[in-house]
Each structure stands twice: as structure tokens, then as C-alpha cells.
């Protein structure tokens, strides 16, 4: 168990609780948030906290899996918004004080399997 792991667990718990002051405290002042799928970036604690605070919908999040090194952590999270469910994968980097200095999110969507591989796969 590393400090950054605990910080990231708090990050998600405070987001779920809409405790934006405590959420902001997990972040470095110059945190950078990156969404490679949309090529969006958000710079700074205030903007990134506001982005989360403004995020629309009655969303709820739980950690499905977490993998942690001392200075980097990955979470696989499960989100629900009403009846809709989705997954996110987030890569966190920590700074020397144990705060989160970078977050990179991926939001994978369901898709239909390509043809020609059902001799190897089963559906669940």
C-alpha cells in the first residue's frame, strides 16, 4: 500500500461524495488531466475540480480494480448514470508530496465483435 494508492482511493471517494474541497486537496496545484480519445486537456487544480463538479448526470463511481506503484496508480472504475453503466481506466501520477500531478482517462465503449473469430471466443 503506497501513499499515492490511498490518495487515489480518496480521490474517487470524495468524487462520489461530491466533497469538492477534499477532492481538490488530493490534487497538485498544477495537475494536468488528459483525455486521449477526445484530445482534450485540462490544466490546474481549480479547473479540473470544476470539470468534475460540473459533470452532468447523477453519476456514481466505484473502484473495480486498482494497481499501484509508489508514484503511479491505475484504476479501473465502474460508473452508473441512472440505468446506464460504463467503465473508465485512469492512469495517475504522483508528485513528491503525494498529491496527484497527472490523470489520463480512457472511456471504452461497447462494440460488436468483428467477424471470423467466434471459433475461439464465447460471449458472456
For residue 43, the minimal CB distance to a copy of itself (Å) is 8
Evaluated on CA atoms 35, 37, 66, 55, the torsion sign reads: positive
Give the binding site for a copy of itself (CB under 8 A): 34-43, 47-48, 50-51, 54, 56, 65, 67-69, 72-74, 76, 87, 89, 91, 106-113, 116-117, 120-124
For residue 26, the minimal CB distance to a copy of itself (Å) is 18
Q: Which is nearer to a copy of itself, 8 or 28 (CB)?
A: 8
Phi, psi of 109 (to 5 degrees): -105, 150
Q: Which is nearer to a copy of itself, 14 or 94 (CB)?
A: 94
Q: Which is nearer to a copy of itself, 19 or 57 (CB)?
A: 57
For residue 47, the minimal CB distance to a copy of itself (Å) is 5
For residue 107, the minimal CB distance to a copy of itself (Å) is 6
Q: Which is nearer to a copy of itself, 60 or 65 (CB)?
A: 65
**Beta-bridge partner residues of 72:** 93
CA distance 85 to 49: 23
In DSSP notation, 10-78 reads: HHHHHHHTT-HHHHHHTEEEEEEEEETTTTEEEESHHHHHHHHHH--S-EEEEEEEEEE-SSEEEEEEE
Amino acid at each position: 500500500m503506497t501513499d499515492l494508492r490511498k490518495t487515489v482511493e480518496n480521490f474517487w471517494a470524495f468524487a462520489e461524495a461530491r466533497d469538492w474541497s477534499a477532492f481538490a486537496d488530493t490534487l497538485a496545484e498544477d495537475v494536468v488531466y488528459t483525455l486521449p480519445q477526445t484530445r482534450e486537456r485540462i490544466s490546474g487544480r481549480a479547473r479540473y475540480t470544476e470539470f468534475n463538479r460540473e459533470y452532468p448526470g447523477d453519476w456514481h463511481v466505484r473502484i473495480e480494480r486498482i494497481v499501484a506503484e509508489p508514484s503511479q496508480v491505475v484504476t479501473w472504475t465502474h460508473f452508473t448514470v441512472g440505468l446506464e453503466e460504463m467503465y473508465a481506466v485512469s492512469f495517475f501520477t504522483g508528485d513528491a508530496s503525494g498529491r496527484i500531478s497527472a490523470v489520463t482517462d480512457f472511456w471504452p465503449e461497447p462494440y460488436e465483435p468483428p467477424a471470423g473469430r467466434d471459433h475461439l471466443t464465447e460471449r458472456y
